[in-house]
Amino acid sequence: MDSALEVTSGWIQYPFRLLVSAAPNSEEQMIENKTLHICTLCYQPYTHTTGVERFALGITQGLKDIGINVEIVSAENPISPGHKVNFPKTGIGIIDNLLFSLFSLPKLMDSKYDIIHVHGHITGVFPALLKKSGLLRKQLIYTAHGLVYSHLMENNLWLFNQTHHFEKLILRNADMVFNGNTSDIDKIAQYAQIDKNKVKYLYTGGINNIFKPSNKIEARQILGIPSYQRIVLFVGTLEYRKGIDLLIGAMSGLPNIHLYLIGKATPFSEKVLKGSSLHNVHRSGHVPTDIPESLLPVWYSAADVFILPSRYESFGLVLLEAMACGTPTISSNIPQIKEAFGEATYSISLNIDELRKSILFILNNSNVQKSLIKKGLELAESKSWKIKAKEVLKSYQKKE
């Protein structure tokens, strides 16, 4: 696969020509006894607001809050200190992400950077190749926000399915890999054929101060939702991995309960929703195209219960956000979520009947609601981005 990524001719050689004679300090000199300069490399952190981008932005802000020099290198105009990478765009997401990865190289070789922290396996392709070549003598860190192979069962696009080769490339050439749960560490090591000691557990969730409880009636007034409705909320990409088909199936037996979906549509969700004519399922848009992120806490507060019936998650940041807003949560009992949230979420087996029963049980049991709210708030209060940044910094500074 590496040979398929070789850059051989034409305009695409431009970023590599700029790398000639760039020879930064050795890794041994970078970490000890100096102020760190860190680069967060993320393709579209401001307009793609999945857990990957929210973590990248959150941890960057947390590092800034504790006095670390860090900036975001992305394909977008920076909102905070950062750099926009310009490159020829094709309009094809995967190709454009690869081009961003390529054209980011001159900036990554900036002598002030000690650490390159990559978010996104496609974004990491060319930094990984540069590291493999020996030209990139900086620490290369990669956060594995869920392995690509977990998506392959739902996506028939040949181009997308080839991207698992890209993830193996970054996993093998990164100096350190962060992962949001311990249950996947052995899987990652086996999948990429790497030493599992290179993979470090990092609770990949944090909360900023916009996520806090607010009055439910006032929240519904802001959103134009009737105060009498019993509301279930889902936030996330509307895809097979998130169990959206199971959730829609469960709602077919709950005609007096309303489900609001916030997230990016996929061909899978369009197929599922097309086959359903339920009056109690509402598509509310996508963050930030239709809904600004600042309005997400209002949605969480307006809901009676938040649900995440995922078949796979690396972490599940939206659960933590809902908890911070004082909303009880229901989630699948997969190991990754159980490890991260424990008894702060109501865990269930993944099938339509269990989903339906759990929604009714939580909505009709105020004592269970109060218990979940209390445990959720306590967990969220201990997970600020500033606290998380201190953990990341310790990992950065740790000598292998």
DSSP state of 202: -
CATH number of the domain to which 146 belongs: 3.40.50.2000
DSSP SS3 for 304: coil
CA atoms within 13 A on the CB side of 91: 0
Q: Within 10 Å of residue 191's Cβ, how many Cβ atoms? A: 17
Task: Please indicate, yes or no, if residue 35 is contained in any of the structural domains.
Answer: yes
Residues 14 and 27 in one domain: yes
Quote the domain boundaries for residue 62: 2-206+385-397
Is 171 within the bounds of a domain? yes
Structure tokens at 140: 């290369």
User: What is the sign of the dihedral through the CA atoms of 50, 52, 55 and 61?
Assistant: negative
Determine, yes or no, domain membership for 175: yes
Could you tell me how far CA 396 lies from the centroid of its own chain?
Answer: 20
Is-contact 263 235, C-beta < 8 A?
yes
pTM of full prediction above 0.85: no
Same domain, 178 and 65: yes
| DSSP code for 384 | B
311 secondary structure, DSSP code: S
CA pair distance 155, 118, nearest whole angstrom: 24
**Domain identity same for 359 and 238:** yes
Same domain, 175 and 227: no
Number of domains, the chain:
2
66 and 105 together in one domain: yes
> In this structure, are residues 149 and 318 in contact, taking their beta carbons and an 8 Å threshold?
no
Query: In this structure, are 376 and 389 located in the same domain?
Result: no
Query: Residues 190, 239: one domain?
Result: no
111 and 229 together in one domain: no
Query: How many Å apart are CA 42 and CA 123, to the nearest integer?
Result: 7
Looking at the domain assignment, is residue 211 inside a domain? no
Asked whether residue 84 falls in the same domain as residue 114, the answer is yes
Asked whether residue 178 falls in the same domain as residue 224, the answer is no
> Do 148 and 279 have their domain in common?
no
In a domain, 349, yes or no: yes
Same domain, 21 and 60: yes
Stated as kind and residue range, the H or E segment containing 347 is strand 346-348
Per-residue pLDDT of the chain in tens (400 residues, 90 and over written 9):
443 344 333 444 545 444 444 444 444 444 443 478 999 999 988 876 677 888 898 899 999 999 999 999 999 988 777 899 999 999 988 899 999 999 999 999 887 899 999 998 899 999 999 999 999 999 999 998 766 545 444 444 555 566 778 889 999 999 999 988 888 888 889 889 999 999 998 877 788 889 999 999 999 999 999 999 999 999 998 989 899 999 999 999 898 999 999 998 888 888 888 867 788 999 888 777 788 888 999 999 999 999 999 998 878 889 999 999 999 999 999 988 998 899 999 999 999 999 999 999 999 999 999 999 999 999 999 888 888 899 889 888 764 4
Question: Cβ neighbours of residue 280 under 8 Å, at least 6 residues apart?
Answer: 251, 254, 255, 256, 257, 258, 259
